[in-house]
Chains A and B, each alone.
Chain A
């Protein structure tokens, strides 16, 4: 039997006892792509961080890779938004990707050939092998996001968590990221991707989880992204257009 990448039952998460998001039920298996969709401030980042035990579990039960979330740190790959990082930080692309190997290396063990190979492969995969020696901050926003993806891939995770990976990302980088995400999920890695972009959600998701303070709907894309669930999650701002696709206008 395939083990669960993620199993959430009636989960509430928040900070310092105050819930940000309630009623989350998730079941994610190897190779599946789960998209967390919802407006800004819906609790998407909080939910992703809860999968590593970095936000407080206030109710329900949660297991990640068949263990308590905090024990999954380092086993699951985490890709932060590039915008949250200091672009002026004096660090090379290669150094950033090598951080993906720190779980094996610990505080002080020197990098070995296997680590360097993993870094090379990951950089190659996101199409930035020729930028290894560049300063991280000198790259475009989209390229930086791809570097952060490469960093997570270098750790060879069974579960990959991406927080708004398409925010401020150019079309070329978005395409590259989508391609890589399809490849790694085909190879058996489970993915959790948060986005407020419903077009991307539709393109990428096997499963979708629509949240805004609570879980409004979860399941296969077709059943989940309906005008009604969107209207509820987005607070009446969803409108339907002629070809059956939904567009959300933030109120």
Chain B
């Protein structure tokens, strides 16, 4: 069970997933608490043109910078658009999402290696993670964790009771921007490994699954992280075994996500059972 991971590229893939798990557990708690699934979806899509531009400008190393710029721009844009209350959150988000994604498709379709590029942007390249990628991810993980920790209490208050938080003197706009930026950074950290589409699963499923078994936010965050680690390990093992032993090609990123979804489905009955016995 351990042996496949002694192969360097598989070991690095697992290390990358463990790093991502550390942030995806906690951040997904806030995505769930604030009902930001759609915003998270928008971020994953708007990072796409950034990724394409980054690669066009600087090759695969430019991907990271491109994603970073696009993610931060979106975070600011979404905060400003939804703040004026002129547009509903959903409408504003949808406008940004579709516009940016279209730009990305236009950009990528101009490249000669169109299909291959599109696939790797959308679904990631988990097995080609390099030590340098790992280091970059680790730095982002630390930044995001610190960013979450300093604001966790205020973010929690704002999520639970926006009017009460504003009445207590918390700056709602600043907090929303903060969380959106952190969310963007998570997407940037994860996008190279799992792609712009599958990263959404890491932002939503961990806490949603953990919510089935616990009402405590800290436990939700920790359990979410554990779920990603387990799904990451099992998913890599599965795709490795499938291709090495049985010659079945199965992309590792999607295997991981599928197992994460599976954990969610398995935990649904727990929720139903708890609902019946809850005082």
Contact = CB atoms under 8 A, between A and B. Distances in A.
Interface of A: 49, 52, 54, 73-74, 76, 78, 80, 84-86, 89-92, 95-96, 99-100, 102-103, 105-108, 135, 138, 148, 151, 155, 161
A73 B171 CA distance: 11
Contacts of A107: 150-151, 153-154
A90 B211 contact: yes
B156 A95 contact: yes
Given A102-B154, A105-B153, A138 B166 contact: no
A82 B111 CA distance: 56
A108 B161 contact: no
B160 to A, nearest CB: 5
Nearest to A75: B169
Interface of B: 33, 149-151, 153-154, 156-157, 159-161, 163-170, 211, 214-217, 220, 278-279
Given A78-B167, A107-B151, A102 B160 contact: no
A89 B156 CA distance: 10
A73 B166 contact: yes
A80 B168 contact: no
Nearest to A138: B279
A91 B160 contact: yes
A102 B167 contact: no
A138 B216 CA distance: 13
A135 B274 CA distance: 14
Contacts of B279: 138
A97 to B, nearest CB: 12
Contacts of B167: 49, 52, 54, 73-74, 76, 78, 80, 161
Contacts of B211: 90
Nearest to A45: B163
B150 A108 contact: yes
A108 B156 contact: no
A54 B163 CA distance: 9
B149 A99 contact: no
Given A80-B161, A90-B215, A91-B160, A108 B168 contact: no
A54 B167 CA distance: 8
B168 A74 contact: yes
A138 B159 CA distance: 18
Contacts of B33: 89-90
A135 B166 CA distance: 23
Nearest to B154: A107
A91 B29 CA distance: 12
Nearest to A106: B154
A35 to B, nearest CB: 19
A138 B278 contact: yes
Contacts of B278: 138
